[in-house]
Amino acid sequence: MGLADKRAQLLAELEPFGDHHERFQYIIDRAKSAPNLEAALKLDAFLIEGCTSNLWLVPSVDQGVCRFRCDADSLITKGIASLVCELYDGASPQEVAATDANFLAEVGITQHLSPNRRNGLTNLVGKIRAFGQAASR
């Protein structure tokens, strides 16, 4: 599935909620079932700067596609980061480098985040896209 299809799928998953409170509850519930990173991977090297809570991103390339795993010590941060990682996971490095995660704004998520959480999200997407750019060389 390409990034455009994944984006459409995530939008369809998030759009039905009537207000941002319901949407955030769904994201929190989703985070509860998302896999945790092993403690050995919760290193400063994988820590995303500028976020209210600790957020780790572990990127890799496997058989020519990018893989992204994440974890956070806050459920809302973990849920949003998981959505972003889900979008980019399995895409080619070129697709990752060229695609923004603006679907979150389209469903009203970024507008209801604190400035620190928005900053962390921006840094997360920046790290993911920079990884894609580096891996495509």
pLDDT at residue number 51: 82
pLDDT tens track for 96-136: 999 999 989 999 899 999 999 999 999 999 999 999 999 99
Give the chain's domains with CATH numbers. Answer: 3-37+46-135 (3.90.1010.10)
Average pLDDT, the chain: 95
pLDDT at residue number 18: 82
pLDDT at residue number 10: 95
Q: Which amino acid is at 35?
A: P
pLDDT at residue number 1: 80
* Spans of the chain below 70 pLDDT: none
Whether 82 and 31 have beta carbons less than 8 Å apart is answered as yes
Whether 66 and 60 have beta carbons less than 8 Å apart is answered as yes
Tokens of 45: 């090297």
How many C-beta atoms lie closer than 10 Å to residue 93's C-beta? 19
